[in-house]
Amino acid sequence: MLGALHEVAGTGPDMEHAAAAALFAAGCLARLPGTVLWVLERSDLFAPGLAAVGLHPARVLYAEAGKAATVLLVMEEGLREPGLAGVVGEVSGRLTLTASRRLQLAAERSGVTAFAIRRPRRHDDPALLEPCAAVTRWQVASLPSGPPIPGAPDVPGLTQARWQLELVRCRGGEAGAWIVGACDAQGRLGVVSDLAD
Residue numbers of the site for another protein (CB under 8 A)? 12-14, 17, 19-20, 22-23, 26, 34-35, 37, 44-53, 56-58, 60-66, 70, 74, 77-78, 81-84, 141-145, 147-148, 156-159, 161-162, 185
Closer to another protein at the Cβ: 61 or 191? 61
Long-range contact pairs involving 46-54 (C-beta distance under 8 Å, separation at least 24): 49/22, 49/23, 50/22, 50/26, 52/185, 53/23, 53/26, 53/27, 53/183, 53/184, 53/185, 53/187, 54/26, 54/27, 54/30, 54/183, 54/184, 54/185, 54/186, 54/187
Closer to another protein at the Cβ: 38 or 128? 38
Q: CB 149: neighbour CB atoms within 10 A? A: 11
At closest approach, how far in Å is the CB of 71 from another protein? 11
At closest approach, how far in Å is the CB of 147 from another protein? 8
Cβ 47 vs Cβ 60: under 8 Å: yes
At closest approach, how far in Å is the CB of 118 from another protein? 15
At closest approach, how far in Å is the CB of 9 from another protein? 15
Closer to another protein at the Cβ: 46 or 173? 46
Closer to another protein at the Cβ: 14 or 130? 14
What are the φ/ψ torsions at residue 188 (nearest 5 degrees)? -85, 145
